Structure 1
């Protein structure tokens, strides 16, 4: 059968040939009203498809077709090859403004095609929808912020109730979990806290020495490092370290439990996830952070003393005596108060992001990142508030 004869038969409404061989079943037919029918007959398996996307596209481009109808009354076996073909044909129809009618396909094929269409819509080109106005975007952003605030308030209320039950001995949490978390937050964090605090004290002493040496007041490096480390910097550095180390771990672990539906299992068993998972972490960080802060203060002072002794030729006893005169007891208490607040904030941020995690692996990563960012921002904001309050109280 020649191409000219095949084209003439197609225009008359007859079936076009499948592969040019006489006797084969037809695949494409154009009805008198211009509707193009794609007939799925027999087996449509990968590597043995009776028609290609290019052949269908050629028929669509040859003459205007308002609709392409799929007919699968005699379809037998099919696999992913058919789905790939139909998905690409549907894409060509969308480009040519041709309606793709899949009502004649089996229900399983339609569901898989719909799923493929949703995935392509999420990862493909953005839709050409009407552009939103600035006011609409501001309104949507405000709604999102309000929903986050309400959700955070609800979580804080649940955590407060759990802490109240813990103080009265009615909370359902295991003591073994609390001890393990305290070990992870305390002893296992000492190496990184030691390194960072030592370097921060060294940097503060070096920067101060450069300026104070111009006036011959090198001895006041001890006062500078002591007050800065003990009052604020020791607690801040310990808090930031715990936000990046422990807060992220809390979010990742609880988020993974959310993905694996372990939290749903706890709820089904009648166990409050806030009491069972969040409460031990809040208590552990609230207890261990002041101890880590004291250790960070010590390492920061040691770092400053190294600069004073090795660079400024100060005596060790002279440096320690100057530090003792400059640092007051209330400075220690302020730093400890900072650290306790930071511990609670880091635990709340990590646990909240973990409990609100989605049901995918990428959602766990997003929750971990959000926990670290939220924890660090909370530490900075709390530092500013406490500093202003101390200034107003004169301490």
Structure 2
């Protein structure tokens, strides 16, 4: 017959002896003994060598005691434990316990959390600058004819960044031009100056909406595609294979995509500007502005300065989109979830880059009276 479950403390209360059959016992009786044991000094010792029958609830209770001891920075030893129980305890404590969302929320506005967030932003910025520098160097080597870029890869990237994007650019640019015309005409008609809607649409499309809306569309389309392609290659270890062959992955994979988008972006911006102006003409015609008046007003509104500002924005936006997409893909993890994270990161990062760059360029143009 098995011995009944027993638990007792030594005279100095730093040694707990557990014995007997615990397969069908009331474990709460151990709580006061645990509390007394934790109040003592020195190493906590629990002798379980006399336990004749183990129960999973007893093991969970001992694990709870161990975590309480670790929380109070106390050392604890389980004496005479069977090998199976020792291995189970080691396995259960191999990973730190999950602290829970509530504890994280309590530290959301702590100084430590803020410092960690700022450090992460700084590390991310430094990593982005490092990747941009490496990519720029690889682009220069390619332009000098000293890189491993394949012509086929470059042509495929050109098709992806250019002709395949015509449909969505056509739709968005035409609608943006119509929206600009509606907004302007509604106000200008009050002063009998509806003809100046041509100036509003032309300048707005050339300097701002043409390059910006094209860049946003390309960030969600081409930038995300770059990230998905490269992150999938990272998951399949294709990039590692390229490096093993002695080929620079930046020159082989990143440079063709960056150059293709930089070359195609100005053409897409010009195409978007033209469609936006056409969309504005449709709305202006409905407001009583004749085609001759609209075209005549365009002649005075469109200048080389406005056109050049839009093209420069397009070039800068293209470099930012391609860099954000390729960086997210090259730094992705090696599982399917990482592909989704890389794609999301590419789009979000590219949009943030676009907004910041657009604001900076506008401020610079204002300061230089351009």
The TM-score, its normalising length taken from structure 1, stands at 0.75
Q: Decide whether the 8 Å contact of 1:239 with 1:343 is kept in 2.
A: yes
* 1:278 alignment partner, one of 248, 251, 254: 254
* 1:218 alignment partner, one of 190, 194, 197: 194
Match of residue 35 from structure 1: 18
Q: Decide whether the 8 Å contact of 1:205 with 1:307 is kept in 2.
A: yes
1:381 aligns with 2:356: yes
Structure 1: distance between partners of 2:4 and 2:86: 29
RCO (CA 8 Å, sep 6+): is it higher in 1 or 2?
A: 2
CA 1:107–1:339 in structure 2 vs 1: closer, same or farther (change >3 Å)? farther
Matches within 5 A, 1:7-26: 9-11=3-5
Match of residue 254 from structure 1: 230
1:238 aligns with 2:202: no
* 2:265 alignment partner, one of 285, 289, 296: 289
CA 1:37–1:185 in structure 2 vs 1: closer, same or farther (change >3 Å)? farther
Match of residue 392 from structure 1: 367
Structure 2: distance between partners of 1:280 and 1:268: 20
Structure 1: distance between partners of 2:21 and 2:334: 39
Q: Tell me the SS of whatever aligns to 2:288.
A: coil
Q: Tell me the SS of whatever aligns to 1:34.
A: strand
* 2:143 alignment partner, one of 164, 167, 170: 167
Q: Decide whether the 8 Å contact of 2:210 with 2:269 is kept in 1.
A: yes
Question: 1:178-198: CA deviations, max 9, x gaps?
Answer: 111111111111111111111
Question: 1:223-251: CA deviations, max 9, x gaps?
Answer: 11011101221000000000111111111
Q: Tell me the SS of whatever aligns to 2:333.
A: coil
Q: Decide whether the 8 Å contact of 1:37 with 1:69 is kept in 2.
A: no
Question: 1:78-99: CA deviations, max 9, x gaps?
Answer: xxxxxxx96x765454456698
Matches within 5 A, 1:28-177: 34-35=17-18, 55=24, 58-63=25-30, 67=46, 90-95=59-64, 104-105=83-84, 113=92, 117=95, 121-122=97-98, 134-177=110-153
Q: Decide whether the 8 Å contact of 2:5 with 2:19 is kept in 1.
A: no
Structure 2: distance between partners of 1:279 and 1:151: 18
1:354 aligns with 2:337: no
Question: 1:147-194: CA deviations, max 9, x gaps?
Answer: 222212211111111011011001111111111111111111111111
Q: Decide whether the 8 Å contact of 2:173 with 2:210 is kept in 1.
A: yes
Structure 1: distance between partners of 2:193 and 2:183: 13
Structure 1: distance between partners of 2:161 and 2:304: 26
- Which shows bigger deviation, 159-168 or 141-150? 141-150
* 1:209 alignment partner, one of 166, 171, 185: 185
Q: Tell me the SS of whatever aligns to 1:35.
A: strand
Deviation of 1:385 (Å)? 2.0
Match of residue 367 from structure 1: 342
Q: Decide whether the 8 Å contact of 1:69 with 1:100 is kept in 2.
A: no
- Which shows bigger deviation, 351-360 or 278-287? 351-360
Structure 2: distance between partners of 1:159 and 1:349: 11
Structure 2: distance between partners of 1:195 and 1:322: 25
CA 1:236–1:125 in structure 2 vs 1: closer, same or farther (change >3 Å)? closer
- Name stretches of at least 5 consecutive residues in structure 2 with no aligned partner: 8-14, 35-45, 70-75
CA 1:220–1:173 in structure 2 vs 1: closer, same or farther (change >3 Å)? same
Deviation of 1:258 (Å)? 1.9
Deviation of 1:357 (Å)? 1.6
